[in-house]
Amino acid sequence: MAPAMPQSQESAPAKGRFITFEGGEGSGKSTQVQRLLSKLAARGIETVATREPGGSPEAERLRRLLLSGAIAPLGADAEAIVFAAARIDHLDKTIRPALEEGCFVICDRFIDSTRAYQGATGKVDASLIADLEKVAAGETMPDLTIVLDVPVDIGLERARGRGEGADRFEQEQKAFHEAVRQSFLETAKSEPQRCIVIDATQPAEKIEQQIWRAVEKRFLKGDEDVGKPRRKAGASAAKAAKRPPRKKSGKIAP
């Protein structure tokens, strides 16, 4: 099949795809988000890279509060609710508009992180997490979730290696991070249609190849319209979604 080219007509059918990356600290999500974006761009596919918590101006404000630990004293339920509030704005302002335009949305963390991290505190009822997920995400579920699985010690070591200082969740004990890892694996097992698990101890190049194979197989075989946005080519998807500018590794600047 010839590589997809950017769409030049506004009337082309919109066929956006929603891909999320999940995994523990330092599992290599940001690295692989960047690599996938490059590969999609090479195929002429319009993309929007985003992240959680954050991804819209209001959600980025909530991100700063959440990761600084300022919300933690309000209790685990309140923290879960604030993650959901950020997600509502992110979906409304960034994700859904981009999907409606036919873009591929690549998101660093989404609902499975709430299941894993807020679930791992042991203090938030599973039914509250499920209800918040329903309210925030509704029917906007990922088409594909890539779980990067790495042993906790290796992931934390990598995260520390960035030298940025530990945030609210990186400071948690090893048992917490083990519970987070198990949660991601359990979600993947229970939703095999949506999730794939990749061994993230492999070299980044190998992981990139495995992700690309999965994306090609699911979305790019025999579908000429996929990833061709409805609006005029050349308009920045990020601009359309009115997101703040990205900083390194596809993350969005505070």
**Spatial contact of 226 and 220, defined as CB atoms under 8 Å apart:** yes
Site for ligand T5A in 7-26 (CB under 6 A): 23, 25-26
Nearer to ligand T5A, 8 or 38 (CB): 38
Rounded Cα distance, 65 and 199, in Å: 32
Q: Which residue has the tokens 């579908």?
A: 223
- Cis ω before 53 (30° cut-off from 0): yes
Asked if residue 83 binds ligand T5A (CB under 6 A), the reply is yes
Q: Which residue in 161, 192, 222, 234 binds ligand T5A (CB under 6 A)? A: 161
Structure tokens at 201: 């101890």
Amino acid at 188: A
Nearer to ligand T5A, 94 or 118 (CB): 118
Bridge partners, 195 (sequence order): 145
Asked if residue 52 binds ligand T5A (CB under 6 A), the reply is yes
Q: Radius of gyration of the chain from Cα atoms?
A: 18
Q: List, in sequence order, the alpha helices (H) in 162-251.
A: 174-190, 204-215, 237-240
Report the nearest approach of ligand T5A to the CB of residue 1 (Å): 30
Site for ligand T5A in 170-229 (CB under 6 A): 200, 203-204, 207
Report the nearest approach of ligand T5A to the CB of residue 64 (Å): 11
Report the nearest approach of ligand T5A to the CB of residue 133 (Å): 10
Other beta carbons within 10 Å of 185: 15
Which residues lie near ligand T5A (CB under 6 A)? 23, 25-31, 51-53, 67, 83, 108-109, 113-114, 117-118, 158-159, 161-162, 167, 169, 200, 203-204, 207, 249
